[in-house]
A and B are shown apart, each in its own frame.
Chain A
Amino acid sequence: MARSVAADTRLGRTLARLFPFPSGDPGSAAVAAIGDRPPAGARAGALPVHVAVAGLVKRYPGPGGRGVVEAIAGLDLEVREGEFCVVVGPSGCGKSTLLRLLAGLERPTAGTAAVLHRQRRLPTALVFQGVSLFPWLTVLDNVAYPLWAAGVRRRDRHAAARAVLARMGLEGFARAYPAQLSEGMRQRVAIARALVADADVLLMDEPFSALDEPTRLLLQEELQTLLARTGQTVLFVTHSIDEAVLLGDRVLVLSARPATVRAVFDVPFPRPRRVAELRADPRFGALTVAIWQVLRDEVRRASGGR
């Protein structure tokens, strides 16, 4: 069957990405993988574009069916292969809408929002804000869900899901249900599910916003380590400037609704990044201040101030 063959190759890619070094010391392998990832600024120009948004417009019918709400008005952005691009903006500015458009959950009113490479639509995986794990599935089946949707055999998809769970230190919770886990654990599992999907592009919608600070800091570091292995392209939405600078190769500031790109900042720090080290770096403070100065005006406009 053509379907299962394709699925098996997909699965093979997932495993290869997660375990790039079949033998040898896994510890040194991880270090090598992280070290191999060059700062995005140096290579951005050469790499193919994965996310292409051009002249994007999205309008909704207004509340009560009266009038029109314009969420996005002529947005342009590009994210290249392997880049970690962060989008910040005032709340309600259309950040989530952008991700939903890219994930194919909604259609643009005008313009394009495409995730492709050489005319081929690339698979995406969306990590949602807040609760998104199926309460009726165990952790293992939740993580294996993207492979189930793709038609992968039970044994193979469970093997892949177990591999990802082990990679994230979650193997002991495979048989638990989401309701039995803490908020931080649940969000870890949601990320594991997105990784199993083996998407070329990860779309993350404020995945850590509901977490307490220590858990958030830990997950931010874990995410970097995981991505160093998989090399996936990421478009990450957040309302935290610190998070944007900590995680991003590039930070885009969106305007108040309707959203357009107001400013773009390159983040120069090498990886892996640690919060404590970044906070000690004066450039970190300067960058967050610069981003805030742009964002502040937009937040004021969004909340109706002058």
Chain B
Amino acid sequence: MAGERGMGTLLHARGGRVWLALHRPFAAAGTALLAPALLLALWELAARRGWLDPLFFPPPSAVARTWWRLAREGVLLHDVRVSLARLLAGFALGAAPAVALGMAMGLWRPVRVALLPLVTALYPIPRIAVLPLVLVLFGIGERGKLFMIAFSVFFLMLLETLAGVRRIEPVYLDVARSLRASRWKQYRSVAWPGALPAVCTGARLALGFALIVIVGTEFLAASNGVGARIWRAYQVLDIETLYAGLATTALMGWGLTLLVSAVERVALPWQHGG
């Protein structure tokens, strides 16, 4: 329940507990931050007291300082920009045909019957396992990395879209057909919006996969990007930069989640109470 009416009802119904109801999100955020904050404080203490070997577990404050230095030098921003560009381009390359094919498989039985066994067979291959093959086929240039990302998101997006189309209530298509909407209009007004929530869920999961795959690929086959930064730090045992790189990937993942949420708010207004 959302929107003005919902809030009004909430205010009237809860009476004295309004304050609690309104502040619950903030309270929840506070509780959620408590655990990591405590962990970091403990780590800091342990590292400073020498309970942890600072060679492998430098204090968080040192990592933060290194992270800040790299950020100010523009090194991190460059890494993030390179990795994100690969990730988003690869995602678009993989997701667009996946959504189109998923819709086709969902709407037309012959296409589904012809392709589903193949898709189900290829889907469980670990994405990173094809990297050596991709390196052989494409070399270590940008094309190989884009293909890796595209491949890692393709099957997931396809299966989510397919499931989304199949889950649409038949009555919605009946409404469109009973009003004599053309085939094209049936797809536009029912199949597409009906599958869209599943497409968004797919995108959320697929971007997570894509982040794993781009970092992994950059370990082995790149001279720039966040993955390459981490890998080089490992090779020279620059542990603080290594942690800074890890923190950066975590931030990228968080940023991508926020991006999907923002897109969902625009694309799925009916799920957010208008």
The reply on B49 being an interface residue by CB < 8 A is: no
A131 and B178: CB pair below 8 A? no
B190 contacts the other chain (Cβ, under 8 Å)? Answer: yes
How far is B232's CA from A149's CA once the two chains are assembled, in angstroms? 59
Closest chain B CB from A202 CB (angstroms):
12
Q: Is the CB of A134 within 8 A of B174?
A: no
Which 3 A/B pairs are nearest by Cβ-Cβ distance?
Answer: A149-B181, A136-B193, A177-B270
Taking a contact as CB atoms closer than 8 A, the residue among B6, B179, B194 that contacts A149 in the complex is B179
Main secondary structure of the interface of A (DSSP, over half): loop
Per-position 1/0 for A81-106, Cβ under 8 A of B: 00000000000000000001001110
Give chain B's interface secondary structure class: helix
Contacts of B268 in A (CB 8 A): 136
Return the CB mask of B178-191 against A: 1 if under 8 Å, else 0: 11111001000110
Report chain B residues within 8 Å CB of A72. Answer: none
B189 to chain A, nearest CB (A): 7
- Kindly state whether residue B81 has any CB partner on chain A within 8 Å: no
Q: Does B178 lie within 8 Å of A103, measured CB to CB?
A: yes
Residue contact A136 to B194, C-beta cutoff 8 Å: yes
Using CB atoms, name the residue of chain B closest to A103. B178
Task: Write the nearest CB–CB distance from A120 to chain B, whole angstroms.
Answer: 14
Q: Which of B1, B179, B181, B189 has the most CB of A within 10 A?
A: B179
Asked if A145 lies at the interface with its beta carbon under 8 angstroms from chain B, I say: yes
* Shortest Cβ distance from B172 into A: residue: A134
Is A180 on the interface with B (CB-CB < 8 A)? yes
A177 touches B179 (CB 8 A): no
Within 8 A of B (CB), among A133-150: 134-138, 145-146, 148-150
Cβ–Cβ contact B171 & A132, under 8 A: yes
Inter-chain CA distance A196–B229, complex, in Å, is 62
Q: Does B169 contact A (CB under 8 A)?
A: yes
A182 to chain B, nearest CB (A): 11
Number of chain B interface residues as a range: 20 to 34
| B265 within 8 A of partner (CB) | no
Chain A residues within CB distance 8 Å of chain B: 100, 103-105, 123-126, 128, 130-132, 134-138, 145-146, 148-150, 175-180, 197
Task: Please determine whether B179 and A125 come into contact, CB atoms closer than 8 angstroms.
Answer: yes
- Interface positions, chain B 107-123, Cβ under 8 Å from A, are none
In the bound assembly, the distance between CA atoms of A154 and B175 in angstroms comes to 20
Q: Is the CB of B274 within 8 A of A128?
A: no
Q: Which residues of A contact B189 (CB under 8 A)?
A: 134, 145, 148-149
Interface residues of B in 1-27 (CB under 8 A from A): 1-3, 5-6
> Which residues of chain B have C-beta atoms less than 8 A from A137's C-beta?
193, 270
Closest Cβ of chain B to A137, distance in Å, is 8
B174 engages A128 (CB within 8 Å): yes
